[in-house]
Structure 1
């Protein structure tokens, strides 16, 4: 048996005795054996030194001058660390009662005087060793208890029969137990566990089991997977078993999820690419290498830009990253480049992985698939659905979409187009006499000829059977349309050589309709083109016809007129006539209105009524309107240079010109500046059509320019269908009564009432009222009597050229 040993160096011993000689002898002996000592001669001093000196043991005399040794021993045990500090009673008394009282008071041992020094030495050494062992054991037990209480594993101690004698809090939690549970049998928690332990013990001869997987069950019936370990311990020669049970359900689920994720990562057909927060590739899966051609080693550390195709600009990637930052994910179609240099389309999804605490991006995970075959399949399906299988021309479905696009574009850009309906003459005879295979060959050849005629810029389609259509855009003259139609009939009239057979009786009949002249919707355009095609067949085939003779003539006239109008703009064939406006109170000329005239080289002077509507439909009114403004400003400059007191010129502005109000006023201001004129010098007259549109941009622009002196008048008031409420919305200065009301003042009493009402309304809205079309003095007198402000009409002067107006001004201002 091993002897207890202790290092006595630095051990502190408190000596308590009222005999100074004995104290000195004790101290010398103990100091000689490497103990540190402190001396007290009474009980009170002993209690004080115990707290200050903090001794490892106390030698206490049984009889002290102030307190008995028994009392001092009891008091010491109540002080801090007193219960663990050994006390040896040193006394000359050897009575049995004293010994019992000493041990009852907490003494660890006693020794009688005179001292047997060897006995003292060994007993003191033994008691100090016991103290250290006890302290170590207490620490070990405390640490064990802390570990058992802190561990997440269930720890249960059972007897050899399976009775539970101890369990930790984790066991109570896992098995839903309470503090009374140690009295139950382990089989209530883990059935047959004791049988398993005994069998394993008898087979292996060892007393420890490690990490056995075991399916346990909660009292409520829920099953869970555990990892069970067992160790045999002995207590008073009795074998006990400590079971450690770890709930591994969550771990196994996590491991299974990780195995599944790994399997998906390695076996999915979709490429997976994981990058760090700086977008450097961290890992890729096998599918990535299969799709891109780059191995994992070649990709890691690089940016995904390694795959960049160059087909997407910086804006594309900036938008992608912006979406990733704000929404955390992005997906879309993107083109990339394989290692071989081949470009391919992929469908890419990117998700951001963020730090759960800082929410900063730490990873980006991209999944993509090569959609080359899918896109090809989709394109093939789309092509089959939209193109004729025989001729490879657009079919009826695609043609309808193209026609709708042309109609929409015409509405936006005011560019007319022609629709041609083409039918092969005598095609049925080929099918009936030579068979459908010959008919197919004929259709194929005809389609190729039509494509050559109309070119790639125009749409040529096969609707079915021997019916073809063509949409001709960007044409400006009827001659261009006729040229295409003549080429098409000429090509279709040429002999067809099919399988060695020459067919020289085939031709084509073509019907032509125009948008927007004939119609503005698809159904009507097709109907008109079909009707025109039958007119061509009735005319003997191998020819073309426009939609009805009347429409032919009308279309021809309009197209030629448009062509001549464009020529007139180019050749500057326009001039202005002017008509003065008279202030009825001051009898002074306050303004002249500029009226456009077209000096046609063959037709002479063309009225605005004959070309302004066409100019508005075609958009040419924009150019013509600025020509009017330019000529008016030039003339006003000339008049002022020659001392003619023309205060203001009024010009008419079409509602079409206001479709882009900012652009209109930019050019308007530029022309005024070029002629050194102000907005006070020009008045613009608008129609009720513009009021009905209530364009906010127009209203804002008019308000801005009125603030700088521009006057705005509404022309031909009373002839439209606008609501009177529009007068409150638009910034207007003058209201012009249409001449149709003035012309019949004398023979239509209701007109007088209407004119009176218009004058009163205009004044109520703080507008000046101008009457146009004044032709006699009676009308003038009526207007003056009813408060009309300004008059204009033949009574004063017909619209005249600048030179004629100058003569009139000299005559009427002198």
Structure 2
């Protein structure tokens, strides 16, 4: 019997064929396993690289945008110290190589170093051109560096930009380690299963087939699932399911390692999102989170016939808290304000309201119509704003001291005022600014006329710069008389502006612009010097008339802390005796900072300079200031003098002020004397000095010299 025809032969042939088939299958499986291992390694490396780089890019961009929003105000005021503090804080973060603030020409303003070693140097590296010309967040990548640049805007004006460099070395090292670990684990798994497959070659075909099934189910399928999960994680789906982690082999180890990596990335993502979308001080949403939510809401509301309102709330005179009580106290004020705003918004703002802190002392509230009243969103927003003004007007206790602050609120409505987020934010800011112009501690709705008012105010601020040097600003003098014998004893210096295009500009308008813009800190000393020089000439040209000149000092000049030094220098330069100068302060200028102001005024009085409290009786505390603030005189506000002849209450108040001041040894000056009867009544009540149209209008220096002659 031939071997080929025997059952044994057939068996052997069948077995040989089976073995050949098993060998062929094994060869194919081994080849497929090797190719699959390479595919998994390539895919894993690509996924890890893309995931790590994209997350770092997103984190870097979000962090840079956040830092850029904090840098806008310091860069606008060119506060290099504050810019340095922010940049050094950024440089302490891991992987940050450099942090640079630059102007629109690419010149370095600050590099985070103490001495700003690269100040003024123009950036000329290969990435600099795109950084300087970028109009939005811009990311560039080199082999070992991630460069993130964000332009800094205030309104529509580009101030410059922020540039942060992040090292990619750590990312590359992490990728290399992870790839090496994956390679090692996959290689170990491949070797182990290759041994199983080789052992199965001496077995039956079914065992080989079963082993193939086992390999397919035990290795290939979990790895593919792991790759699918990795791609899902790369796409941002951190809830993507992983293969069963109950296994105790290498695949299980690899799966659990991927699970731990996913949890780590998820925690980091939560932390980064919290940092990127939350205000660190108050815990509220920040500008970035608010803008994203506003964009989403606007997409929902377009064409839906529904409205929403934005309320911009800004703390009035908040800088005074930082200047007088320190930044820690300022932070405590912000935290208490945020708590009060949150409680009020939760109570009155409706379920879909959103509160955010935009930075500094500015809070923004989004509300949708919720009351169902006929007035709609405007009535809801107005009621919320009125409640906020009242709540935030209550005193705040800081370090055992009561601090009184107000809030100015601007309101803009979608879609009445604008259809896009950018214009809504701009309009809300304009409305808030108009609330401050209207006297603060109030709210105003946006109107298109406000745009023109803002443009006029910006143009006026621009025109006011250098107006003194161009000879547009001048001094007028209103005579001050002694009531006892109607003798001219001095004059109040009043600033006047004759604009070359608009003519005479009301002092109430341009002085407020100078105060808000900070120009008063430049104009004030110039006014003081000019008034003292004129007073010296009066005394020199008209011997025997020891006239004094009184000069008004703004609250901003008072807060600067340099007033006493400026006054002493001006007196020394002009030669005017100290008793020839009277300094006038408004009562509201000293409220909330009486301890520091008292020391400043005591220094002036010790030098022989008289200090008068202007607009007396119109402030928050009235006569109580006479006990705590050292002054030589008070000027009764013209609102009391106007009705002194026909209103018994005003007459009684005026008489009480005169008596109270005299009991403390304080001189009393009456403003706004426009009738002879007013003059007679004040003289009978013992008032010391007076000024007003009945006694003399404000006049230029030449006319005042004629009056003296």
The TM-score bracket by the shorter chain reads 0.3 to 0.5
Q: Which has the larger radius of gyration?
A: 1
TM-score normalised by structure 2 residue count: 0.44
* Structure with larger RCO (C-alpha < 8 A, sep 6+): 2
TM-score normalised by structure 1 residue count: 0.38
Q: Which protein has the bigger helix share?
A: 2
